[in-house]
Amino acid sequence: MNVVIVGGGIAGVSTAAALRAGGFDGDLTLVDAGEFPYDRPPLSKDYLTGAKDLGRIALQPPQWYDEQAVRLINRTRVTGLRPGGVELQDGTLLPADRVVLATGGGAARPPIPGCERAHVLRTAEDADRLRAVLRPGARVLVVGAGLIGAEVASSAVDLGCEVVLADPVARPLAAAVGAELAAWLHERHAVRGITTVQAGVESFEDGAVLAGGREEFDAVVLGVGMVPETALAEAAGLRVDRRIVVNTGQVTSNPAILAVGDSARSRDGHWEAAQHDGARAAATILGAPPPPPAAPWFWTDRHGRHVEAVGHMAQADRTVLRGSFADPAFSVFGLRDGLVVAAAAVDDPNAVRAARRMIDRRIPADPARLGDPAVNLRTLLRP
């Protein structure tokens, strides 16, 4: 069997790795538009600050592709899905019995005048362009204080920039980490000297119009979300509803085509969700049982603090704080009907690892013990 994976982000590379790990011995080709498959989370962190170069953020070392017999076609776009294969930009037709779309997405640009001149951050080239202007003393406006905007703001301060961070929402990320922790996280910006403005931007012409006043900036960065890359799927007549519609085995409306990662998921997902999609797609192709479902998880780093969240905080009907917001490390658990449904932590990653197991294994938790930092969370996992 011939499998072609379109897109070498974490979803595409994970699909390839899971296929080989599962014993797939057919032809396996990975086509990617970029230099080589690299990891995106560092683009707003160590790559943006210059602490890591592109080679250091490769998803796999170069020899991996040979070792795993994965044919890597880089710097090449797939331009169309054809019966029996995919078409490359130079017109070559690659035969494929199964195609996996792992095309990710692009950074969103809202329809605001002058928006096309703002920086966005999705590729290494985007990060290179942005890094060139993040010089000490540069005045930078970051629009959107969600995950990427907050990380860019933090990295820009690290680089000595003067940063203004604008978002119309008072407590960005509240749905993911809960209102209290979201407020605390947002306040960290001001502590680092960032000016936070609760407003949207009305125009980017001649500076930026923010909350009625016009201001000059050396750079404007948009961190306002992601637009799934669905052009190939749409042109091939697959069902697309903002993202490529897939079933639980990642199969699209055409049984020969699967889709994984940011271009496919129904909910806003992150790095690990894309990896899990890849494992599920591989299981489908191999006819193997799918890996068990797992609560969604993400991490983010800002102002020297490592933040993680698991599950769905918005589903919680009560929260339990473990430690205090003044502690070097603390966590918040979200419960519903006596079960842990979510957790978020600052520099306390093992609280999230414990919570993740409580969620996935549906282990009931005693709120008093959850909230007591003296209780080892591992003991709560034991029957």
Partner 1 sequence: MTDGIRVAALDDVPEGEGIAIDKAIIGTEDNVALLRDTDGGLWALNDTCTHEDASLADGWVEDGYVECPLHSSKFCLKNGEVQGLPATRDTCPHRVEVRDGEVYLFPNQTP
Ligand X SMILES: Cc1cc2nc3c(=O)[nH]c(=O)nc-3n(C[C@H](O)[C@H](O)[C@H](O)COP(=O)(O)OP(=O)(O)OC[C@H]3O[C@@H](n4cnc5c(N)ncnc54)[C@H](O)[C@@H]3O)c2cc1C
Residues with Cβ within 8 Å of 24's Cβ and at least 6 positions away in sequence, in order, are 1, 3, 282, 285, 286
Is residue 40 near ligand X by the rule CB under 6 A?
Answer: yes
DSSP state of 237: T
Sheet architecture: strand order including 2-6: 71-73, 27-31, 2-6, 98-101, 257-259
Cβ count within 10 A of residue 311: 25
For the bound state, the minimum distance from the C-beta of residue 214 to partner 1, rounded and expressed in Å, comes to 41
DSSP-assigned letters across all residues of 62-124 = HHHHHHTT-EEE-S--EEEEETTEEEETTS-EEE-SEEEE---EEE---S-TTGGGSB--SSH
Nearer to ligand X, 161 or 176 (CB): 176
Tokens of residue 207, six digits: 């500076």
Tokens of residue 249, six digits: 């085995």
Alpha-helical regions (H) of 145-228: 147-158, 174-177, 179-191
Residues with Cβ within 8 Å of 186's Cβ and at least 6 positions away in sequence, in order, are 145, 170, 171, 172, 173, 196
262 binds, among partner 1, ligand X, none (CB under 5 to 8 A by kind): ligand X
Q: How many residues bind ligand X (CB under 6 A)?
A: 35
Is residue 104 near ligand X by the rule CB under 6 A?
Answer: yes
Provide the mask over 267-296, with x wherever binding to ligand X is found by CB under 6 A and - wherever it is not: --xxx--x----------------------
Nearer to ligand X, 77 or 109 (CB): 77
17 binds, among ligand X, partner 1, none (CB under 5 to 8 A by kind): partner 1
Is residue 252 near ligand X by the rule CB under 6 A?
Answer: no
Chosen residue from 3, 19, 28, 43 binding ligand X by CB under 6 A: 43
Is residue 122 near ligand X by the rule CB under 6 A?
Answer: yes
Helix (H, G, I), strand (E, B) or coil at 33: coil
For the bound state, the minimum distance from the C-beta of residue 357 to partner 1, rounded and expressed in Å, comes to 8
Q: Which residues bind partner 1 (CB under 8 A)?
A: 10, 13-14, 17, 39, 46, 58-61, 64, 272, 275, 297, 299, 306, 349-350, 353-354, 376, 378
Chosen residue from 16, 78, 177, 355 binding ligand X by CB under 6 A: 78
For the bound state, the minimum distance from the C-beta of residue 79 to partner 1, rounded and expressed in Å, comes to 28
For the bound state, the minimum distance from the C-beta of residue 81 to ligand X, rounded and expressed in Å, comes to 10
Nearer to ligand X, 47 or 204 (CB): 47
Is residue 34 near ligand X by the rule CB under 6 A?
Answer: yes
Helix (H, G, I), strand (E, B) or coil at 209: strand
For residues 364 and 338, is the Cβ–Cβ distance under 8 A?
yes
For the bound state, the minimum distance from the C-beta of residue 290 to partner 1, rounded and expressed in Å, comes to 17
For the bound state, the minimum distance from the C-beta of residue 116 to partner 1, rounded and expressed in Å, comes to 33
For the bound state, the minimum distance from the C-beta of residue 10 to partner 1, rounded and expressed in Å, comes to 7
Residue length of the chain: 383
Sheet architecture: strand order including 85-88: 78-82, 85-88, 93-95
Nearer to ligand X, 18 or 102 (CB): 102
Residues within the interface to ligand X (CB under 6 A): 6-12, 31-34, 40-41, 43-44, 77-78, 102-105, 121-122, 148, 229, 232, 261-262, 269-271, 274, 298-300
